[in-house]
A = this chain, B = another copy of it.
Amino acid sequence: MLDYKLLDALVAVIETGGFERAGSELGLSQSAVSQRIKLLEARLGQPVLVRSPVLQATPAGQRLLNHAQQVQLLERSLSRTIPALNADRTRLRIALNADSLATWWADAIGEFCREEGLLLDLVIEDQDIGLRRMRDGDVAACLCSSDTPVAGARCVRLGQMTYRALARPDYLRQHFPEGLTPAAFRDAPAIVFGPHDQLQHRFLAQQGYHGRFPFHLCPSSEGFVRLALAGMGYGMIPDHQSLGEVKAGRLADLAPGEGIAVDLYWHYWRHGGDFMERLTTTLTRKAQGCLTV
């Protein structure tokens, strides 16, 4: 078996962001932690950490971290049968889309985390990268809009989010005075989450527009809404985030009734044991109160 003392050192260095802090977490000196990392690297024949530009795990190191999480999950299931084991707090690394994290996610998972003492290590990724991280063993679960399961993982549908093209009312009057014309789409600045954001293109295609358009790039859910509220552009915003603003008349719908529904799927490893199954059951149930089923 692996030497879990060495793995613990790696987990501590990454979680605390430094050798000295990892030492004080483990009750070791900084140089003892450093020794353990070096030994781990010697056994692996490759580095598990890079120090520049910031201290982080190499791909191999990341796989070890995920393995440590999986083992913790199994220990946790075991400790329900043998309570004396009293397994440490589990931390679960989960990839999810930014809009879920900015809206309903905490409401759906909060109670489970509080009751089980579960800690989360959340990573924001779009679905291609999120699923790839699943495949690479870098995360224990992934919440995204793809229903293609990863080999060895289960995939359950949680519900859907609806996105609408919204902008400030005065922005609409200024940039779409004659409605959703091709000329207006060509000149009106949009707000796009990232270069791989397909929602804006789907919306434009739905409106029969396939040409170029000017856009801001804003990879933050909250920032996205702020840019729209500042009259800088129009963009696809989920109902979860916009309801208050639309009700108050601060944002208006470009194409009422033409929202785009996006399904959300929860991917998780089969060998996560009983704990992961219970988390999934809770999430499926809670999501019904948060998402459109």
Q: Footprint of B on A, CB under 8 Å?
A: 14-17, 21, 24-25, 53-56, 89, 98, 101-103, 105-107, 109-111, 113-114, 117, 119-124, 126, 128-129, 132, 189, 195-197, 201, 210-212, 214-223, 226-227, 229-232
Contact = CB atoms under 8 A, between A and B. Distances in A.
Contacts of A110: 227, 230-232
Given A102-B226, A110-B227, 18 more contacts: A24-B210, A24-B212, A53-B132, A55-B195, A98-B223, A101-B222, A102-B220, A106-B229, A107-B226, A109-B230, A110-B230, A111-B230, A120-B227, A122-B220, A123-B219, A124-B219, A220-B220, A222-B222
A54 B129 contact: yes
Determine which residue in A196, A219, A222, A227 has the highest number of CB atoms from chain B within 10 A of its CB, and name it. Answer: A222
A227 B24 contact: no
A248 to B, nearest CB: 13
Nearest to A98: B220
Determine which residue in A55, A214, A216 has the highest number of CB atoms from chain B within 10 A of its CB, and name it. Answer: A216
B53 A230 contact: no
Contacts of A231: 110, 114
Contacts of A16: 195, 212
Contacts of A53: 128-129, 132
Nearest to A241: B222
B105 A226 contact: yes
**10 tightest A-B CB contacts, nearest first:** A110-B230, A101-B223, A106-B226, A106-B230, A102-B222, A222-B222, A25-B212, A17-B195, A121-B217, A120-B216
A84 B124 CA distance: 45
A214 B101 contact: no
Contact of A101 (B129, B211, B226): B226
Given A110-B231, A129-B54, A230-B110, A102 B223 contact: yes
A22 to B, nearest CB: 9
A219 B97 CA distance: 12
Contacts of A229: 106
Nearest to A27: B212
Contact of A120 (B111, B129, B217): B217
A93 to B, nearest CB: 8
B89 A230 contact: no
A89 B216 contact: no
A121 B217 CA distance: 5
A195 B122 contact: no
Given A54-B196, A114-B232, A217 B122 contact: yes
